[in-house]
Amino acid sequence: MANASPTPSGTYSYDAVIVGSGLAGLSTALKLLQGPETETLGSEPFRIAVLTKGALADGASGWAQGGIAAVLERGEEGDSFAAHIADTQVAGAWLSDEAATTQVVEGAPVAIAWLQAQGVAFTQEPGAHPALHLTREGGHSHRRIVHATDATGAVVQESLIAAVRAHPAIDVFEQTTLVDLIVQNDSTTGRPRCVGLYALDSRDDGASTGGGIVRTFAAHHTLLATGGAGKVYLYTSNPDTATGDGIAAAWRAGCRIGNMEFIQFHPTCLYHPEAKSFLISEAVRGEGGLLRLPESAGGARFMPEHDERAELAPRDVVARAIDFEMKKHGVDCVYLDISHKGEAFVREHFPTIHARCLSLGIDIARQPIPVVPAAHYTCGGVLTDLAGRTDIANLYAAGETACTGLHGANRLASNSLVECVVFAQEVSDAIKSEASGARHTRADGQNDSQVSLPAWDESQVTDADEQVVIAHNWDELRRLMWNYVGIVRTNKRLERAAHRIALLQSEIDEFYANFRVTRDLLELRNLVQVAELIVRSAQSRHESRGLHFSRDYPQTDAVALPTVLVPSKA
């Protein structure tokens, strides 16, 4: 934390509070403080708080291996914005919003340039006048993936984290977990507006015990950039932080949620007892990796039997193919083989994957990689407009937390990182515009309701006597989601899941009402809410499209329509 200090009432007050320290959150924080527009906000410094559950680098953005999709001026011959948009629509099963897709695709080159200006060193082509090296991933018709070897996310995050930590106008609150948003009715418009949030600060009490102090944050503008919800499933490529916090909090506050049935399962997560959530990048298949059965099942390549694009098919197709072959042959995993490319090629293109697998006794330059599908990306989320605005005034969402319409029924590889940067620009522009007016209002002496937010009340709760309830419910939820709401779904499985989730919600709500909050309890509360939203969305879609495949509705409807859930109090 930099220069933060609470008001006499114990409230921290900021112009903008950003919840989440991934690419969307950090990009927005930096963009809010860049450019000539910032000068119009008045003589006072624009104050920003970045809240993150763990350390700044703990989110999913740093785990991204593949890269960032962008059609560049010096890109592959024949590539175009139109081709990138078409690839996105095909992968998204024609559910991708046209305006959002165009905005992201056309904004991608500027996003790459901005990242380079922040010091991000992308991999270059060799030569006297090097250009960015571009690779190709599943679902893309051209080489257009900008990358930093096979550790793009980590390289990007390292640069942005350094910039955020160095900026005097940004206060960083680590080990601080969102509890709930604070929403009031605007006296002028009558419309609900977000005026801040409650967050559990675990720094003093220690994250190991899960305790801490609930603090109040007043904010003229709040951005939810908390990532996805992969931890709702038993097997996931996501970090432990991916518990759907922003999605659940926005739903409780009254925001609509869209397309939550579309959970992308990454087809190739490393299968090894000592490896937790380690991803084998799409780029391995993009550079010629082949999927084969284990030797015990014949060792044959199988993707050509499932799709004419073979290993370069979109992720949902590949994930279902692997799931089918594993169940058909009764095997625990399949194998991804890049060894035929040679050791020099493998070490140059995939140094991180090579090193990690080698540490586990797998030399990917000489032997195939054992892989299984795992929950990877939440394509749905909090509904936003093209500036990241939600249904509640002054509340924004970006990154995996948001449903901008870009990803449709299935995210095209490497579209997510560029979406973060493009929408960070849109959100920051919207906040700057609105903040300028708010500053003029305060200069005129008008009252600011945010200075007197209600403090967190825990007078009616006690310390939990048994944490085993949380641990048991967490495990039960993730297993039932994996078994009943996985890659292939049926009406009966969804009904069973809905029934079990309702019972879990009742138990968790009772626990939440009677005991002091801990990070584990908050995450479990959010996960069970997200699980309910996923199941409700899946039950309402009577077709198979993209990532949602139902045995009871195997057809695809002629018209692609989004799934929109509306809170009862909205």
All structural domains of the chain, each given as residue ranges with its CATH number in brackets, are 11-262+379-455 (3.50.50.60), 266-376 (3.90.700.10), 468-559 (1.20.58.100)
Task: Map tokens 């594993």 to a residue.
Answer: 326
For the cut 80, the answer to whether the pLDDT of residue 3 exceeds it is no
Task: Tell me which residue of 304, 373, 300, 305 sits closest to 337, measured CA to CA.
Answer: 300
CA–CA separation, 436 and 44 (whole Å): 11
The Cα 551–Cα 62 span in angstroms is 36
**pTM exceeding 0.75:** yes
Positive or negative, the CA dihedral 246, 250, 252, 256 is negative
- Which residue from 31, 48, 3 is spatially nearest to 170, judged by alpha carbons? 48
323 three-class SS: helix
Report the mean per-residue pLDDT for the chain: 90
Q: Edge-to-edge strands of the sheet including 263-270? A: 263-270, 369-378, 334-337, 290-292
Distance between CA atoms of residues 64 and 62, nearest Å = 6
Q: Which of 28-37, 260-269, 295-304, 437-446 has the lowest mean pLDDT?
A: 437-446
Q: Is the pLDDT of residue 443 over 60?
A: no
What is the residue whose two structure tokens read 């089918």? 324
From the list 164, 200, 203, 182, the residue with the least C-alpha distance to 22 is: 164
pLDDT in tens, 378-396: 999 999 999 999 999 999 9
Confidence (pLDDT) at 469: 84
Secondary structure letter of residue 454 according to DSSP: P
End-to-end CA distance of the chain: 36
Are 130 and 416 spatial neighbours (Cβ–Cβ below 8 Å)?
A: no
d(CA 112, CA 316): 27
Distance CA 195, CA 393 (A): 9
CA angle, corner 51, sides to 33 and 446, nearest 5?
A: 60
- Side-chain-side CA neighbours of residue 320 (13 Å): 21
- pLDDT over 80 (residue 439): no
| Distance (Å) of CA 542 to CA 218, 490, 553 | 43, 11, 6
What would the mean pLDDT of 463-481 be, rounded to a whole number? 87
pLDDT band per the 50, 70, 90 thresholds, residue 8: low
pLDDT tens track for 327-379: 899 998 999 999 999 999 999 999 999 999 999 999 999 999 999 999 999 99
What pLDDT shows up at residue 565? Answer: 98
Three-state SS across 505-553?
A: HHHHHHHHHHECCCHHHHHHHHHHHHHHHHHHHHHHCCCCECCECECCC
Q: How far apart are CA 256 and CA 247, in angstroms?
A: 10
Distance CA 162, CA 514 (A): 41
DSSP SS3 for 318: helix
CA distance 38 to 33: 6
Per cent of the chain over pLDDT 70 is 92
Q: Which of 144, 315, 389, 519 is catalytic?
A: 315
Q: What is the dihedral of CA 267, 238, 120, 147, to 10 degrees?
A: 0
Structure tokens at 254: 């009254």
Task: Indicate the Cα dihedral angle 374, 375, 376, 380, nearest 10°.
Answer: 160
518, with CB counted inside 10 A (0-12, 13-18, 19+), is buried
pLDDT band for position 279 (cuts 50, 70, 90): confident
Using only the alpha carbons of the chain, give its radius of gyration: 23
- Cβ atoms 109, 100 nearer than 8 A: no
Q: Kindly state the tokens that stand for 61.
A: 């953005």
In tens, the pLDDT along 500-512 reads 999 999 999 999 9
The label of the residue with tokens 């759907």 reads 244
Q: Is the pLDDT of residue 436 over 80?
A: no
CB contact at 8 A, 392 and 384: no
Verify whether residue 315 is a known catalytic residue. yes
Give the distance between the most distant pair of CA atoms in the chain. Answer: 77
Task: Tell me the per-residue pLDDT of 114-125, one tens digit each, with 9 for 90 and over.
Answer: 999 999 999 998
User: What mean pLDDT is predicted for residues 50-56?
Assistant: 94
